[in-house]
């Protein structure tokens, strides 16, 4: 049974606290990268990344990822935003559909049914839209 240590903290409480502190919360930058990686070679425009991650400043994190060489522009590919503006599509994959880098600390795993890459928290949200 749980007792109390010299700090007055119950041993059960301490175990729960240690368990909670071991949970890693992804950074906004990691969320944006995971969304782009999960989209595969199709890529995402900034507004799509914002919809998936529920993060309204995804473009800011995307610029950092471009600067670091983790993602790139899909040359010649743009999508219309809901406001009707053309937006550049960004991808974590090269022209031969190979990842530019392996995911940085994400939970990326192959999808057993389709062979596509998905990330645990995004598995049900992988976009289904095509290029256009």
Write the CATH number for 62.
1.10.10.10
End-to-end alpha-carbon separation of the chain, Å? Answer: 62
Q: For residue 9, give both structure tokens.
A: 């903290």
Domain tally for the chain?
A: 1
- Is 77 within the bounds of a domain? yes
Q: What is the pLDDT of residue 17?
A: 60
In the predicted model, residues of the chain with pLDDT beneath 70 are 1-24, 102-132
- Is 75 within the bounds of a domain? yes
- Give the model confidence (pLDDT) of 91-108 as tens digits: 999 888 888 876 554 443
Q: What is the pLDDT of residue 99?
A: 85
Q: What is the pLDDT of residue 131?
A: 38
Question: What stretch of H or E contains 30?
Answer: helix 28-38
* Residue 81 burial (10 A CB sphere; 0-12, 13-18, 19+): middle
- Is 42 within the bounds of a domain? yes
- Is 16 within the bounds of a domain? no
φ and ψ of 87, to 5 deg: -125, 140
Q: Would the pTM of this model clear 0.95, i.e. be above it? A: no
- Is 46 within the bounds of a domain? yes
- To the nearest 10°, report the CA torsion of 86, 125, 129, 79: 10
Q: What is the pLDDT of residue 110?
A: 35
Question: What stretch of H or E contains 110?
Answer: strand 108-110
- Is 50 within the bounds of a domain? yes
Q: What is the pLDDT of residue 98?
A: 85
The residue to which tokens 């606290």 are assigned: 17
Q: What is the pLDDT of residue 48?
A: 97
Q: What is the pLDDT of residue 21?
A: 60
Q: What is the pLDDT of residue 5?
A: 57
- Is 103 within the bounds of a domain? yes
- Is 64 within the bounds of a domain? yes
Supply the range of the domain harboring residue 42. Answer: 28-124
| Spatial separation of the C-alpha atoms in residues 91 and 79, rounded to whole Å | 13
């Amino acid at each position: 049974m749980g007792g109390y240590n010299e700090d007055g903290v119950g041993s059960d409480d301490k175990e729960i606290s240690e368990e909670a502190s071991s949970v890693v919360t992804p950074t906004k930058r990691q969320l944006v990268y995971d969304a782009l990686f999960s989209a595969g070679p199709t890529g995402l425009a900034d507004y799509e990344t914002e919809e998936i991650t529920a993060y309204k400043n995804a473009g800011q994190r995307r610029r950092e990822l471009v600067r670091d060489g983790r993602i790139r522009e899909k040359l010649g590919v743009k999508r219309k935003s809901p406001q009707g503006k053309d937006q550049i599509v960004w991808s974590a994959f090269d022209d031969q559909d190979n990842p530019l880098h392996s995911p940085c600390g994400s939970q990326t795993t192959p999808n057993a049914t389709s062979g596509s890459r998905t990330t645990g928290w995004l598995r049900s949200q992988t976009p289904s839209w095509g290029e256009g």
